[in-house]
Chains A and B, each alone.
Chain A
Amino acid sequence: MIKLESVTKVYKGEVLALHQASCDIQKGEFVFLVGQSGSGKSTFLRLLNKEEEPDNGKIFVAGKDIARLRRWRVPQMRRQIGSIFQDFKLLPNKTVSQNVAFALEVIGRPRHVIKTQVPAILDLVGLQTKMNRFPHELSGGEQQRVSIARAFVNRPLILLADEPTGNLDPATSVGIMRLLERINEIGTTVVMATHDRGIVDTMRRRVIELNNGEIVRDQARGVYE
């Protein structure tokens, strides 16, 4: 599903963010990306949906070399990849259901599809009773659920999560992880960058560790360190 072949990324010709990273992630896997702050985890994720371009190496997503993708094809590719973040990136002037619906509207989904899919996905993330709230009226955990709903409403093949529990307390984080596990069980490939030792150690999934932009460990059913 995702394959990196000795990928190197250098910012502004001097900051080496990723150095000859290679790995192969199968469909349906759940992968933790760990490493110190600045080790290149976010860069890894941003390269996968073409927010950044590598300076060297090849990246394959769903079997396609994404460097050879035409510019106008990139949006199509991104529809297969959901993304969530530490800071949620919700639109503050839209309600919960409007935030989720927005993701479908802007890719031109017909209204009747939006009408049925939005409540269904809010049901899945457990927010059916808070559809008409605004983001500032929700807890952090609830906001992250909205952002997961938005990322997943279009049923992407891949979910990229960049420290999704970074702003949440441990109890709330557990709930979010349950949700991500459920999404993974349906067959979605999940790649999650995290600092959270507790989560990694209890879930025992594949762990890829980065250090100064190099993959220093790639371990099935691994731990944080």
Chain B
Amino acid sequence: MARETLRNLRRNLTLTLASILTVAVSLSLLGIALLLQRGVSNATDRWQDGVEFIVFLEPDITDSQLGLVQEEIERSAAIESYRFVNQEESYREFNEDFFPENPEITQLVTKEIIPPSYRIIPKQLSAAAIEIVASGFETKPGVKKVVRATDEIQKIEKATDVIRWIVLGAGVILLGTGLLLILNTIRMAIFARRREIEVMKLVGASNSFILVPFMLEGTFQGLVGAALGTASVYGANRAFEEWLASENVLNILQSFAVGSGEVWGIGGLLFLVGALVGSVGSAIAAYRFLDV
């Protein structure tokens, strides 16, 4: 029966490739939409402990500059609480929180280039109040950058939200197209073998014997599409991680990093959807054109 399936696949190579590629592209889009969703939810989780902004210091800040910044924080009436995170701790956090499964990426980052930082919670949590306090630190000597958490994350969240829906929509539409293409491939395969099918029915081949090769063929197409889709989702996530690592370790997008466990979870889901689309497509074709 496997041989039968392979022979069918060869017979309609172009159509088969078209179905597989369409399923692959649609599943990549679905996977990327899921990836974005995971990223946003990770970012929100990671900043949820109430830190509203972070003052990143130059890695080579002098002691006197550090003293001045610290003094400023303690004196400010607008600050509720703060925590100093030294290089050691930042480095550990970077490794454990952001890229635990990717030693290749953390290898690129040495302890020396990781900045120490102050994590600060202001008394008033309105965006405007945070902005006033935060911007005060931006010009201080020894300060590398001030990152406002919620603000930036919300901005990114809003942007990704729109992108996510577009990508998801395109993915679903393409998935429907993929299903129709698989259905059509199977219909062609049934048509090409109509004489054999007629004889099979005549001599009493069981329904499943007639049906299974076509079901396998459709499911196989869905699964190959899923494999390609998963590969491209994995690739996209890898590219994102590498970009994060090379670009700028302070980039807030770091908190959007998605662990490889989560990526494989998404891959598993894509395989499931691929198998489903393939078997449903061929089942419809079989039901309509095989009449067993």
Give residues in A with beta carbon < 8 Å to B: 49, 71-72, 75-79, 83, 89, 91-92, 102-103, 106-108, 150-151, 154
Q: Which residues from A are CB-within-8-Å of B207?
A: 71-72, 75
21 A-B contact pairs sorted by A residue (CB < 8 Å): A49-B202, A72-B206, A75-B204, A75-B205, A78-B202, A78-B203, A79-B203, A83-B202, A89-B199, A91-B195, A91-B196, A102-B196, A102-B199, A103-B203, A106-B200, A106-B210, A107-B203, A107-B204, A107-B209, A150-B199, A154-B204
Q: Which residues from A are CB-within-8-Å of B200?
A: 106
In the complex, the answer to whether A150 meets B203 with C-beta atoms within 8 Å is: yes
- The distance in angstroms between the C-alpha atoms of A171 and B125, with both chains bound, is 105
In the complex, the answer to whether B204 meets A91 with C-beta atoms within 8 Å is: no
Q: Which residues from A are CB-within-8-Å of B195?
A: 89, 91-92
Q: Which residues from B are CB-within-8-Å of A108?
A: 206, 209
Residue in A78, A89, A92, A150 whose CB lies within 8 Å of B204: A78
Give residues in B with beta carbon < 8 Å to A: 195-196, 198-207, 209-210
Q: Which residues from B are CB-within-8-Å of A71?
A: 207
- The distance in angstroms between the C-alpha atoms of A108 and B210, with both chains bound, is 12
- The distance in angstroms between the C-alpha atoms of A153 and B254, with both chains bound, is 72
Closest chain B residue, CB of each to CB of A50: B201
A78-B203, A103-B203, A151-B203 given; name 10 further pairs at CB < 8 Å. Answer: A75-B206, A83-B202, A91-B195, A92-B195, A106-B199, A106-B203, A107-B204, A107-B209, A150-B199, A154-B203
CB distance from A144 to the nearest CB of B (A): 15
Closest chain A residue, CB of each to CB of B198: A89
In the complex, the answer to whether A89 meets B209 with C-beta atoms within 8 Å is: no
Beyond A106-B209, A108-B209, whether A76 also contacts B204 by CB under 8 A is yes
CB distance from B5 to the nearest CB of A (A): 15
Q: Which residues from B are CB-within-8-Å of A78?
A: 201-204
In the complex, the answer to whether A103 meets B199 with C-beta atoms within 8 Å is: yes
In the complex, the answer to whether B203 meets A91 with C-beta atoms within 8 Å is: no
- The distance in angstroms between the C-alpha atoms of A92 and B194, with both chains bound, is 12
Q: Which residues from B are CB-within-8-Å of A103?
A: 199, 203
Q: Which residues from A are CB-within-8-Å of B210?
A: 106
- The distance in angstroms between the C-alpha atoms of A130 and B206, with both chains bound, is 30
In the complex, the answer to whether A89 meets B203 with C-beta atoms within 8 Å is: no
CB distance from A160 to the nearest CB of B (A): 10
- The distance in angstroms between the C-alpha atoms of A108 and B207, with both chains bound, is 12
- The distance in angstroms between the C-alpha atoms of A82 and B210, with both chains bound, is 19
Q: Which residues from B are CB-within-8-Å of A102?
A: 196, 199
Q: Which residues from A are CB-within-8-Å of B199?
A: 89, 91, 102-103, 106, 150
Q: Which residues from B are CB-within-8-Å of A154?
A: 203-204
Top-3 shortest CB links A-B: A78-B204, A79-B204, A106-B205
CB distance from B13 to the nearest CB of A (A): 19
Considering residues B203, B205, B206, B209, which has the most beta carbons from chain A within 10 angstroms of its beta carbon?
B203
